[in-house]
Structure 1
Amino acid sequence: MRLLFIGDIVGRTGRSALVNTLPDLRRRWNLDFVVVNGENAAGGFGITESICDEFLAAGADCVTLGNHAWDQREALVFIERQPRMIRPANYPAGTPGRGANLFEAKNGARVLVMNVMGRIFMDPLDDPFAAVERELEACPMGQMCDAVIVDVHAETTSEKYAMGHFCDGRATLVIGTHTHAPTADAQILPGGTAYQSDAGMTGDYDSVIGMNKTEPLQRFTRRISSGRFEPAEGAATLCGIAVEADATGRAIKVAPVRLGGRLAEAVPSFW
């Protein structure tokens, strides 16, 4: 099974990179399943229903979120009728939407996707490890599903690594999001789970994590806010991770993906 995860889409330039690139990637790489993190897609903050629909039409099978899930208030409503959009599973009981869902891949495989948010330097939500354990017990890989993808939206690499080892052998991919910088640690853990601390963002890297440089620099150097953050609008680099899994759902190949924009290109050599 061929899986692709694409990191945080930031603003208009990130959306354009995804929509213009993903259909061709699905065809050329013969992808079975694609997950996109879309929590920064609408002007850098949240996602709208029309943007979610645009991503799904371009070839995404599922859209995950994070700490900006509700920045566009309409998301609280349309997430209830959009089963292919997943918010963090460790939000409190009663939060709209779902934190995990089971999908059918192009090859007929059953793929469980879940999204959790870290707690270090983040909002103090429920325990992400308990939330993941609950979903893994309810839908174990090799029994109720053929592959498992866990999007860990977190600030620290330590918390993400801990989640990777916690899921090792029980998930196909544990992928970090949120920090918007692709890490160089794509690997397969001993139990067969592919892991990378951060997929990176899909946005303009001539920026401060996707935002126009002027306002972040003003706040860092003078501690004064002079306006709101706005997404940078230069050419975007599409960033993510490619995984090939065997019949058991365990990863056998993994590679970072970087296409376009300012970063050095990286593509999987095995496809």
Structure 2
Amino acid sequence: MRMLFVGDVVGRAGRKGVQKHLPDLVERFRFEFVVVNGENSAGGFGITESIHNDLCDAGADVVTLGNHSFDQREALVFITRTSNLIRPINYPEGTPGSGAGLFETKSGKRVLVINVLGRLFMQPLDDPFAAVDKALADCPLGDACDAVLVDMHAEATSEKMGIAHHLDGRVSVVVGTHTHVPTADHQILAGGTAYQSDAGMTGDYDSVIGMDKEEPVNRFLTALPRARFEPASGDATLCGLAVELNAHGLAERVAPVRVGGRLSDALPDWD
């Protein structure tokens, strides 16, 4: 089975990038399952129901979130009726929505998607390691599901690497999000789990992590806000991670994906 993960979609530019490139990628590489992180898709902060639907229409089977999950107030409501919108699993009990979901591909394979938020330099939520362990105990790879993808939305690469090694051999993919810059460490760990510290964002890279440059630079210079952060509006690079799994749900091949915009293209060298 081939899976594609698409990194944080930032604003209108990122959404356009998904709509422009994702359908062709799915067709060309025969991806059976696509997960898109959409937590910055609404003006850079959160997600709306119409944007979620647009991402799904472009080819996303599941949309994950992060620390901006509920920046758009409507998300508190529509997430409760949207089974393929996943917020971090380690939010406190009673938070609307779900942090994990079991989904079926067109060929009938079962994929568990888990979204989890790191704690280093982030909100002090529940233990991400324990939260993922519990989800896997309820739905273990090779028994209750055929593949497991974990979106680790975190600031610190050490925490992302730590959870990946903790989960190695028990999940198919651990992919980092949140820092909006694609890392060069895509690999298959010793136990067969595909890993990348950050998939990168899907947005305009002529920016400061997806935002129009002027206001972030102003705040670095003056430490004072002058205007709101607004997403950059240029041509987007779609960034992500492609993984091919074996019959046991572990990775056989992994490749970075970058297409469009300012960054150099990177695509799987697969038939």
Shift of 1:224: 1.3
Offset from partner CA, 1:115-153 (integer Å, 9 cap, x none): 000000000000000100000110000000000000000
Letter in 2 for 1:143: D
Aligned equivalent of 2:186: 186
**Tell me, which stretches of 5 or more residues in structure 2 are unaligned?**
none
Q: Secondary structure at the match of 2:89?
A: coil
The answer on whether the counterparts of 2:29 and 2:270 sit within 8 Å (CA) in structure 1 is no
Letter in 2 for 1:159: E
Shift of 1:222: 1.1
- Rounded to whole Å, the distance in 2 between the matches of 1:159 and 1:250 is 22
Paired residues for 1:105-184 under 5 Å: 105-184=105-184
**Tell me, which stretches of 5 or more residues in structure 1 are unaligned?**
none
Letter in 2 for 1:19: Q
Aligned equivalent of 1:12: 12
Shift of 1:83: 0.3
Letter in 2 for 1:250: L
Is 1:38 matched with 2:44?
no
Aligned equivalent of 1:100: 100
- Rounded to whole Å, the distance in 2 between the matches of 1:199 and 1:106 is 25
Shift of 1:27: 1.2
- Rounded to whole Å, the distance in 2 between the matches of 1:88 and 1:15 is 21
Instruction: Please give the root-mean-square deviation of Cα atoms over the aligned residues, in Å.
Output: 0.6
Letter in 1 for 2:151: D
Letter in 2 for 1:130: A
Letter in 2 for 1:232: A
- Rounded to whole Å, the distance in 2 between the matches of 1:107 and 1:240 is 23
Paired residues for 1:198-209 under 5 Å: 198-209=198-209
Count of aligned pairs: 271
Aligned equivalent of 2:229: 229
- Rounded to whole Å, the distance in 1 between the matches of 2:108 and 2:239 is 26
- Rounded to whole Å, the distance in 2 between the matches of 1:108 and 1:2 is 14
- Rounded to whole Å, the distance in 1 between the matches of 2:150 and 2:24 is 25
- Rounded to whole Å, the distance in 2 between the matches of 1:189 and 1:106 is 28
- Rounded to whole Å, the distance in 2 between the matches of 1:30 and 1:270 is 10
Q: Secondary structure at the match of 2:169?
A: coil
Offset from partner CA, 1:199-223 (integer Å, 9 cap, x none): 0000000000000000000000111
Offset from partner CA, 1:15-38 (integer Å, 9 cap, x none): 001012111211111110000000
Paired residues for 1:57-72 under 5 Å: 57-72=57-72
Shift of 1:106: 2.4
Where does structure 1 differ by over 2 angstroms across 4 or more consecutive aligned residues?
A: none
Q: Secondary structure at the match of 2:4?
A: strand
The TM-score normalised by the length of structure 1 is 0.99
Letter in 2 for 1:91: Y
The TM-score normalised by the length of structure 2 is 0.99
Offset from partner CA, 1:235-265 (integer Å, 9 cap, x none): 1000000000001000000000000000011
- Rounded to whole Å, the distance in 1 between the matches of 2:69 and 2:26 is 26
Shift of 1:105: 1.3
The answer on whether the counterparts of 2:14 and 2:204 sit within 8 Å (CA) in structure 1 is yes
- Rounded to whole Å, the distance in 1 between the matches of 2:24 and 2:217 is 37
- Rounded to whole Å, the distance in 1 between the matches of 2:220 and 2:78 is 36
Aligned equivalent of 1:213: 213
- Rounded to whole Å, the distance in 2 between the matches of 1:156 and 1:181 is 13
- Rounded to whole Å, the distance in 2 between the matches of 1:151 and 1:89 is 10
Letter in 1 for 2:77: V
